[in-house]
């Protein structure tokens, strides 16, 4: 099963007091959930995360970075999901007055080692931004980057070359947030081509595909029709009777694949011998 991402949604508030709760979403069953949060506590808060499920998911903070102001903070948590159900997520611990969340999940991930390389950094000037992963990601992995930026100069953030923007949010007060993904690459560089605000924190995380994901082959669907009038008597005439089907090897000199690449079986029928 290939590694497949599902963009679950994005939410923000500019009037947060002690906690922020997202809207409802339903992650996929047998997936790894990622919560990317942009908070304005400046790194001072001991952030917490929980959800509305009767039995809560188990969350792991994968990467955490604050800018030098300090004001903007970028965090990514992950949690395995066995059975998807409608839920909300709450970021607590006094995360600041403005909070933004981008949520994703992936199926077809490696359940033994769901995540790999990480990166984090902060920026104090407008222009291109680069951070470096702690290790080269597998080409079968997907890397997600999350940028928690200020809204100065419109807060424009442009995804890096080779990256695809997934969500962009601007809360209209102080916070602009952008998430981007890249797959099929082993580069350790996580980049944004432009950051107009010149102030922010960036994080990135590798999501690892299940072992063997993308390997194997696809088989063509075959439709079989049963003709109730095609009896042995109609098909074989007076020689109809009991018959046996026997598989036997084909000589190498005559074992030629057909043009579709399908395997050919030869069937021999003969009267049954008692």
Q: Contact at 8 Å (CB) between 80 and 114?
A: yes
pLDDT of amino acid 221: 34
Listing from the earlier edge strand, what are the strands of the sheet with 175-183?
Answer: 115-123, 200-207, 142-150, 175-183, 164-170
16-48 residue pLDDT tens? 999 999 999 999 999 999 999 999 999 999 999
pLDDT-based confidence at residue 1 (cuts at 50, 70, 90) = confident
Percent of the chain whose predicted confidence (pLDDT) is above 70? 77
Q: Contact at 8 Å (CB) between 40 and 51?
A: no
217-269 residue pLDDT tens? 323 334 444 444 454 455 555 555 544 444 445 444 444 545 555 544 444 44
Query: Can you give the three-state secondary structure of 129-198, one letter per residue?
Result: EEEECCCCCCCCCEEEEEEEEECHHHHCEEECCCCEEEEEEECCCCEEEEEEEEECCCCCEEEEEEECCC
Residue with the bigger pLDDT between 246 and 113: it is 113
Q: How far apart are CA 249 and CA 270, in angstroms?
A: 17
Q: How far apart are CA 181 and CA 143, in angstroms?
A: 6
Residue 91 pLDDT > 60, yes or no? Answer: yes
Q: How far apart are CA 159 and CA 150, in angstroms?
A: 16
Let me know the angle formed at the C-alpha of 95 by 93 and 96, rounded to the nearest 5 degrees: 135
Q: How far apart are CA 162 and CA 9, in angstroms?
A: 23
Residue 6 pLDDT > 50, yes or no? Answer: yes
Percent of the chain whose predicted confidence (pLDDT) is above 90? 72
pLDDT of amino acid 237: 56
Listing from the earlier edge strand, what are the strands of the sheet with 73-81?
Answer: 4-13, 99-107, 31-39, 73-81, 60-66
Query: Can you give the three-state secondary structure of 229-246, one letter per residue?
Result: CCCHHHHHHHHCCCECCE
Q: How far apart are CA 163 and CA 41, in angstroms?
A: 29
pLDDT of amino acid 135: 98
pLDDT-based confidence at residue 215 (cuts at 50, 70, 90) = very low
Residue 5 pLDDT > 90, yes or no? Answer: yes
Q: How far apart are CA 21 and CA 14, in angstroms?
A: 12
pLDDT of amino acid 29: 98
122-167 residue pLDDT tens? 999 899 999 999 999 999 999 999 999 998 767 789 999 999 999 9
pLDDT of amino acid 248: 44
**Average pLDDT in the chain:** 85
pLDDT of amino acid 238: 54
Q: How far apart are CA 86 and CA 88, in angstroms?
A: 7
């Amino acid at each position: 099963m290939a590694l497949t991402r599902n963009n679950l949604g994005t939410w923000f508030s500019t009037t947060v007091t002690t906690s922020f709760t997202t809207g409802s979403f339903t992650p996929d069953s047998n997936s790894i959930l990622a919560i990317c949060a942009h908070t304005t506590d400046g790194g001072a808060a001991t952030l917490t995360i929980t959800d509305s499920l009767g039995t809560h998911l188990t969350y792991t903070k994968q990467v955490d970075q604050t800018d030098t102001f300090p004001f903007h903070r970028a965090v990514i948590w992950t949690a395995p999901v066995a059975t998807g159900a409608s839920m909300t997520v709450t970021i607590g611990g006094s995360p600041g007055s403005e909070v933004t969340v981008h949520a994703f999940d992936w199926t077809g991930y490696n359940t033994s080692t769901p995540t790999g390389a990480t990166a984090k950094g902060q920026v104090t000037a407008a222009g291109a931004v680069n951070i470096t992963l702690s290790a080269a990601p597998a080409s079968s992995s997907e890397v997600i980057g999350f940028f928690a930026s200020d809204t100065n100069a419109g807060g424009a953030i442009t995804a890096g070359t080779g990256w695809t923007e997934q969500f962009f949010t601007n809360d209209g007060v102080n916070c602009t947030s952008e998430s981007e993904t890249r797959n099929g690459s082993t580069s350790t560089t996580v980049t944004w081509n432009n950051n107009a605000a010149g102030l922010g924190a960036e994080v990135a995380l590798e999501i690892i595909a299940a072992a063997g994901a993308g390997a194997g082959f696809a088989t063509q669907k075959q439709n079989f029709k049963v003709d109730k009038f095609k009896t042995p008597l109609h098909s074989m005439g007076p020689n109809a009777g009991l018959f046996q089907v026997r598989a036997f090897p084909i000589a190498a000199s005559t074992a030629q694949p057909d043009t579709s690449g399908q395997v050919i079986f030869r069937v021999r029928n003969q009267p049954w011998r008692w």
